[in-house]
Amino acid sequence: MRLSVPAFAKVNWMLEVLGPRPDGYHEIRTVLQTIALADVLHFERTEEGIEVVCAHPQVPAGPANLVFRAAERLRRTQGVKAGVRIRIEKHIPVAAGLGGGSSDAAVALLALARLWEIALDPEQMLDLGRELGADVPFFFIGGTALGIGRGDEVYPLPDVHADILLLANPGFPISTSWAYGQLTKRGIPGNISVCSRAWHRAVGVWPAVRRDEGGREVVPILAIVAGNDFEALVRERYPELTRGLDRLRGCGALCVGLSGSGPTIFGVFESEREARWAESALAALGWWRARTRTVDRPEYWARLVASLSGEASGP
């Protein structure tokens, strides 16, 4: 049996770091969004063992790969004897703040449950995801969602729609652990919010939902991109990011932001002309660019289900 399944990237419309937790992580509040940029994972059931391959030079093989760890954990906890060969077709930049590794791991768990004929309820899948990484559970939800705690407690929100979203990456990585460490050194207040408090604070500022001509619930984009606590830090350390963000604004972006701890930045545009202008401006800086759009929750799951059933493949 073979399956080919897309693993969609994400951006953070906003990200607030509330303070350090007793478990060594940080308490955050973030609004996450799936987008159309996607890796594709190809699965082939084998008699035994786990093999993960990828042509991208920055993607490791073996236990260092999150997809490998996802497969190994699922196989061990469920007592599976069969094996799998997984080929990762990489389109999402590595270590870019776009959740590529986490999305790949979530898709691997979903695909392997199908491939190995394992019945897992949603809570079991979420628990497995949390063990692998804080961003993984979000990819079992998709669309627009609120992430609290370490970011691994995720609640669906009304979907945000942006048809013209430009991503840009300067080509160097930013260590997430370094970024959190710098915020801690600078004395973030340790006001740990319980889940209900974080939820009510977020919902309290959520704008009234309206419906577009197709009847979809729509949240105004300008109300959502509310900042990122890492932005000032990475601007100071990496002036190139300031230039990139300024280029996006100068080309007419409705709003701009940093995804995760970076280095990927994004801009939402109203017109293709402005997006092309911005893309050219960033090309002149030598940056990686990708034009994409948001993927709402119904589309996200329709495409995953079609791929997991063998009816469709690819991003």
pLDDT by residue (tens digit) across 49-73?
999 999 999 999 888 999 999 999 9
What is the residue type of 181?
A: G
Tell me: pLDDT of 203 over 70.
no
C-alpha–C-alpha distance, residues 18 and 5, integer Å: 35
d(CA 292, CA 135): 21
Question: Quick one: pLDDT at residue 314?
Answer: 60
Mark whether 198 and 71 lie in a shared domain.
no
Closest CA to 294 of 7, 37, 30: 37
Average pLDDT, the chain: 87
Half-sphere exposure of 132 (CA within 13 A, CB side): 33
Q: What is the CATH number of the domain that holds 123?
A: 3.30.230.10
CATH classification at residue 221: 3.30.70.890
Structural domain total, the chain:
2
* Same domain, residue pair 108 and 11: yes
> Catalytic residues, which ones?
10, 135
Give the pLDDT of residue 232. Answer: 87
106 plus 229 within the same structural domain: no
Structural domain span for residue 138: 2-154+297-308
Window from 89-103, 276-290, 299-313 with minimum mean pLDDT: 299-313
Task: Encode pLDDT of 253-305 as tens digits.
Answer: 988 999 999 999 999 998 999 999 999 999 999 999 999 999 999 999 999 99
For residues 146 and 6, state if they share a domain: yes
Residue 82 is assigned to a structural domain of this protein? yes
For residue 241, being part of any structural domain is answered with yes
Instruction: Grade residue 175 by pLDDT with cuts at 50, 70 and 90.
Output: confident
Cβ contact 312:40 at 8 Å: no
